[in-house]
Amino acid sequence: MRPSAVRLLNILVPIKRTVDYAVKIRVNPDQKGIDLNVKHSMNPFDEIAVEEAVRLREKLKDAVKSIKVVTIGPPKSSETLRTALAMGADSGIHVEIPDSAPAPEPLGIAKALRAVIEREREKGGVDLVIMGKQAIDDDAGQTGQMLAGLMDWSQATFASKVALDVEKNEANVTREIDGGLEELRCRLPLVVTTDLRLNEPRYASLPNIMKAKKKPIEKLTPKDLSVDLAPRIETLKVTEPPKRVGGVKVANVDELIAKLKEAGITAVKS
């Protein structure tokens, strides 16, 4: 038996499978969406979230009882869960939606996460949710804040530093804000969303990838969670952005200055 004075933390990390960040996407000619037959990987901000959870355990040792990753997505999202397990998470939950289903909205995802957290209640609950600040496909950046709102929990968005004080049941979080940094003290349970600066995610080693194959993944459906993931905002069309007519090269600095002058740009008088 562990001494009961020590609080044990359960961390939940929601992750998303997205088109790989390096892929140059193509808009489908029917203007219904983009070509998804391309390389996918874990949303980069979510990798940072998984890494942070694993680092918290490395720092706090036994105070972190579990790291659970959850994804809500098509069948192939289970690969993304395996990646997170290989990075050091203990177990996964896959809320599976059919490939043909429209992409859920952040509010739907937040409600599904709320339902997952409620299911976890009997297994010790969730004290800390760490997730990416935005997914690089829809670029919405809403899910964490929505989840915190639904749960009535504290939230720390765009985190670049997280210091947990398990005894005091709180966390000091440094956030990246417009023009600088801000520090907050948040009571647990807490939702943290990660900024790029939080950490440098590790690569999963081969032995860990092998081990991850044996880690449990629980499969659920939106129905199991009694959530409706149908989008409420209609996507009318997806188009290519207007093309820039750039690509003009100049031979030297003088020509460059001539170009600037042509555009009405000259030095300012100081």
Partner 1 sequence: MLRARCVIPHRILLRPYATSPGPHALVFLEHREGALDSGSLSAITAARRLGGEVTGIVIGGPDQVPDVVEKAKKLKGLTKLLHSTSPAYSSQVPEIVSPLFERLLSDGTPFTHVVSAHSSSAKSLLPRVAAKLDVPAISDITSLEHDGSSNATTFTRPIYAGNAIATVRAPSSIGVKIFTVRSTAFSAAPSEDGSQVQVEALDPVELADAPTQHIRTDLTKSDRPDLAVAGRIVSGGRALKNAETFKATLEPLADVLGAAIGASRAAVDAGYADNSLQVGQTGKVVAPELYIALGISGAIQHLAGMKDSKLIVAINKDPDAPIFQVADAGLVADLYEAVPELVEKLKQQ
Cβ at position 65, least distance to partner 1 in Å: 22
Using the minimum distance from each CB to partner 1, give the nearer residue, 79 or 255.
Answer: 255
What value, to the nearest 5°, has the Cα angle with vertex 114 and ends 105 and 42?
55
Cβ at position 34, least distance to partner 1 in Å: 6
Cβ at position 31, least distance to partner 1 in Å: 9
Cβ at position 61, least distance to partner 1 in Å: 26
State CA 86 to chain mean position distance. Answer: 17
Using the minimum distance from each CB to partner 1, give the nearer residue, 6 or 140.
Answer: 140
d(CA 260, CA 270): 19
What DSSP line would sit under 114-181, residue for residue?
HHHHHHHGGGT--SEEEEES--TTT----HHHHHHHHHT-EEEEEEEEEEEETTTTEEEEEEEETTEE
Using the minimum distance from each CB to partner 1, give the nearer residue, 44 or 215.
Answer: 44
Using the minimum distance from each CB to partner 1, give the nearer residue, 71 or 155.
Answer: 155
Using the minimum distance from each CB to partner 1, give the nearer residue, 4 or 252.
Answer: 252
Identity of residue 200: E
Whether the ω angle into residue 44 lies within 30 degrees of 0, i.e. cis, is no
Coil/strand/helix, residue 242: coil
Cβ at position 66, least distance to partner 1 in Å: 23
